[in-house]
Amino acid sequence: MMLGRQDLLQAWNRKRIRFNPDISPEQVGLASVDLRLGYIFTSLKAQAAVVIRPAHEFDPKDQIETIDLTGEKEPIFRLKPKQFKLGQTLERIRVPANLAAHVNGKSSLARAGLAVHATAPHINPGFEGPITLELFNSGDWELEFFPGKDLVCQVSFWKVQTPVPEIAISRMSSYRGQTVPFPAKKKA
């Protein structure tokens, strides 16, 4: 069962779902919560003849470049046509054990060519941290965003019939507590 506006407002007001920094009521839609673009972005380094095996043990630190626009006076994030970067939501989210979530793009931004997730919209019960966004500009225009201000995605919540035990969340959460868009995956 997907949570609608009243369910979302109730869960937020009762602090069952949490955001840091906190959201405003205007960010709660009919069945989702709009989230802002954060300040940290990661690019894959373009390197000839480099092959990675991301489905296996892979530490990305030598293959990526991360920039943090937090200290910038007027930060601007630009995404050129056909460019892919990882970003994060400004809001750190905390999903309780009895809910799961999905992150999706906003249709108004998709019409300009922005995709916010390539294949990984699912957020597990017990997740804590900013949501990693798989930003891709499929359009022909360069896109420009203001980190910390622009609403770039929406997260919807789904009821989990049987809450997941904390021990399972601790053991099976790969990216819980992540601080950068492309952290090394935790070993299960």
Single out the catalytic residue among 57, 128, 134, 142: 134
Distance separating alpha carbons of residues 1 and 100, to the nearest angstrom = 10
- Is residue 144 among the annotated active site residues? no
Distance separating alpha carbons of residues 153 and 106, to the nearest angstrom = 5
φ and ψ of 92, to 5 deg: -80, 135
What is the set of active-site residues?
134
